[in-house]
A and B are shown apart, each in its own frame.
Chain A
Amino acid sequence: MKLKSLTSALAVLALSAGAVAAAEDSELIINGDIEIVTRTKAPAHMENIDEIRSGWTFRSEETQALQMDDFDNPGMIFVDQARETWDQVDGSEGKSCASCHGTPEEGMAGVRAVYPKWNEAAGELRTLEMQINDCRENRMGAEKWGWNAGPMVNMTALISVQSRGMPVNVAIDGPVQEIWEKGKEIYYTRFGQLDLSCANCHEQNYDNLIRADHLSQGQINGFPAYRLKNAKLNSIHNRFKGCVRDTRAETFKEGSPEFIALELYVASRGNGLSVEGPSVRN
């Protein structure tokens, strides 16, 4: 019995070592043009990790390759769909996104990299989704999109594409500091019947296998992410929800203050990595 558990432990070690070797020297350059920083020095506020790594470095070579060319990246289908939505007039004001922002290339460069961001006029921290809905409601006079609705996730992908290759750089001081602290507290709090915090898997055990899954650092620089398991783009909060559910806890809702705080904190753990969205993950 003892021998058996020892050999299976060895097998796990060998497997995870193999997975590391596959990704060790690979570099991500999209379309042979956009260089993506997938490994860099951790930001100063992180106490327990020296090097931060994009989720891309944890995936198999085949999955990694899908992200190297936009034609192969299935997430780009949804970006094309959002491009059509961008020009469509909606709501009582007779406006489309393009009426104020011009082309996505002109209007949205660098935006993804700094969100979630404090909005002074509204006195609140806003994620990309909240900002899009504020535009729809107050500028266009259109109906809000659901947090996870197709057009919403696709639009965040279109906006992310305009910042690809730029370093994530969310502010964590000033008016947002309190929210950031709250996010950090959630990150280190154990939830659910399995009694797991985000840190248990993504800080203490990244690069190890949890059953068949190769644990990443849980970075969100690649979101929205096209997941091979459900063949669509997935929002950050949707992924958070999946993780919390997997601890067998009652999850927070998409767009809840808890997840907004957590998004700010997790985004800040990726300060320095490149914006990658839409990324391809399994």
Chain B
Amino acid sequence: MASGVKPRVKVPKSAAAGESVSIKTLISHTMESGQRKDGDGNLIPRSIINRFTCDFNGQNVIDVTLEPAISTNPYFEFEARVDAAGEFKFTWYDDDGSVYEDAKSIAIG
């Protein structure tokens, strides 16, 4: 597993029903592209987050495929309409098979 990986998420605590809220996510990750060489000239193997998803109450909000050209610590900001109270689930998939998860609840009012 890549070291020092830590997901961070920012979701408002509450929203009006039907309101679009802004969601920010950031995961610390080296996003090694597989193109670079180390000091001895050997290729450093690719190690990136290759997929990011966000679900709200079981319904998919966003599903992103990440490519090697995306830089260190990938950051996503997107909007989601909230019709009812519930939970946002965030999932990041690492090349090495690790899966990182985070979740945030949002209330209506």
A71 within 8 A of B: yes
Cβ contacts B49-78/A at 8 Å (1 or 0 each): 000000000000000000000011101000
Indicate if the CB atoms of A231 and B71 lie closer than 8 Å.
yes
B24 to A77, Cβ gap below 8 A? no
A77 touches B71 (CB 8 A): no
Query: In the assembly, what is the distance between CA of A80 and CA of B28, in Å?
Result: 11
Given A71-B26, A72-B24, CB of A77 within 8 Å of CB of B73: yes
10 nearest CB pairs, A to B: A231-B72, A71-B10, A77-B28, A71-B24, A74-B73, A77-B73, A231-B71, A71-B26, A81-B4, A71-B8
Query: Which A74-96 residues have a C-beta within 8 angstroms of B?
Result: 74, 77, 80-81
B6 within 8 Å of A (CB atoms): yes
Q: Which residue of B lies closest to A70 (CB)?
A: B10
Enumerate chain A residues within 8 angstroms of B28, measured Cβ to Cβ: 77
- Residues of A within 8 Å of B24, CB to CB, are 71-72
Q: Hey, what's the 0/1 contact readout for A217-232 against B, CB within 8 Å counting as 1?
A: 0000000000000010
Contacts of A74 in B (CB 8 A): 26, 73, 75
Range of interface residues on chain A? under 10
Tell me what chain A mostly uses at the interface: helix, strand, loop, or mixed.
Answer: loop
| CB pair A80 B71 closer than 8 Å | no
- Complexed CA–CA distance, A231 and B28 (Å): 11
Mark each residue of chain A from 40 to 82: 1 if its CB lies under 8 Å from any CB of chain B, else 0. 0000000000000000000000000000000110100100110
Given A71-B8, A74-B26, A231-B73, 13 extra CB contacts under 8 A: A71-B10, A71-B24, A71-B26, A72-B24, A72-B75, A74-B73, A74-B75, A77-B6, A77-B26, A77-B28, A77-B73, A80-B6, A231-B72
> Residues of B at under 8 Å CB distance from A?
4, 6, 8, 10, 24, 26, 28, 71-73, 75
Binding site for B on A (CB under 8 A): 71-72, 74, 77, 80-81, 231
B-chain residues with CB within 8 Å of residue A72 when the two chains form the complex: 24, 75
Q: Separation in Å of the B33 CB from the closest CB of chain A?
A: 13
Closest chain-B Cβ to A41's Cβ sits at a distance in Å of 37
**What CA separation (Å) do A81 and B4 show in the bound complex?**
8
Complex Cα gap A107–B26 (Å)? 29
| Cα(A71)–Cα(B26), bound, Å | 8
A/B interface sample: 18 pairs, CB < 8 A: A71-B8, A71-B10, A71-B24, A71-B26, A72-B24, A72-B75, A74-B26, A74-B73, A74-B75, A77-B6, A77-B26, A77-B28, A77-B73, A80-B6, A81-B4, A231-B71, A231-B72, A231-B73
Q: Which residues of B contact A71 (CB under 8 A)?
A: 8, 10, 24, 26
Instruction: Compute how far the CA of A74 lies from the CA of B29 in the bound complex, rounded to whole angstroms.
Output: 12
Which residue of the partner chain A has the closest CB to B28? A77
What residue in chain B is nearest A232 (Cβ atoms)?
Answer: B72
CB-CB < 8 A to B4: which residues of A? 81
Q: CA A80 – CA B27 in complex, angstroms?
A: 12
In the assembled complex, which residues on chain B have CB atoms less than 8 Å from the CB atom of A80?
6
Tell me the complex Cα distance, A142–B26, Å: 33
Across the two chains, which residue of chain A brings its CB closest to B30?
A231
CA distance A231 to B73 in the complex (A): 9
Q: How many angstroms from the CA of A97 to the CA of B94 in the assembled complex? A: 33
